[in-house]
Amino acid sequence: MSTPHNEANKGDIASTVLMPGDPLRAKYLAEHFLEDVKTFNTVRNMLGYTGYYHGKRVSIMGSGMGMPSIGIYAYELFNMYDVEKIIRIGSCGAIQENVHVRDIVIAQGACTDSHFAHQFELPGTFSAISNYELLEAAVTLAKEKGVPYHVGNVVASDLFYHDDQDSDKKWAKMGCLALEMESYALFALASRYGKKALTLLTVSDSMITHEETTAKEREETFTAMMEIALEIA
């Protein structure tokens, strides 16, 4: 059963999907970490793969940038392909002094400036949070690996280039750790359809120090985050 965005058939996609924003990161992960890999999607170059990691069947698929994009793919994976868990593996911009480039941020919840949840016609504001089981497993593995990590709120924004130059400082005052663009939609959809979701992020740049990584580094070198996601998949 294909969709306008995914040419996979039922059964082509594993029950757990890792979702980087960049489809080339999905390709890199599949080629370097999975065995017996099969491509299930190339529509719009949003590459998707299924293979085995230490005997465990896992799929990896790009989500694109922003909540409208991940909203399409996550909805279809949850509702049309029987996916039970989606783990976002992305990059983020740190907005706290103690969160450094290449640190891992494990998103406990996601704040947003988006109206994504308005579709649910709720009589208030929805707090989008991750699945605790996946969160706990990721924290445990991060400790075992000895990698620097932080757990807390991230900001999923609709805007990459914000007209308000101080918007990040306002979120930082509320204790948010980093900026990204997808997690609120992912967590909201997982809650709506009774599924599980988690976001793991590697800090690609800092709004405090202005240190940043290259596109190639973001594609190929954020391996600690990738390994944690594969282990808990």
Q: How far is CA 52 from CA 49, 66, 113, 231, in A?
A: 10, 28, 37, 12
Would you name the residues annotated as active-site residues? 205
Rg (CA), the chain: 17
Integer Cα distance of 92 and 201 in angstroms: 6
Residue 57 contacts residue 70 (beta carbons within 8 Å): no
Type and span of the H or E element at 205: strand 196-206
Integer Cα distance of 214 and 212 in angstroms: 7
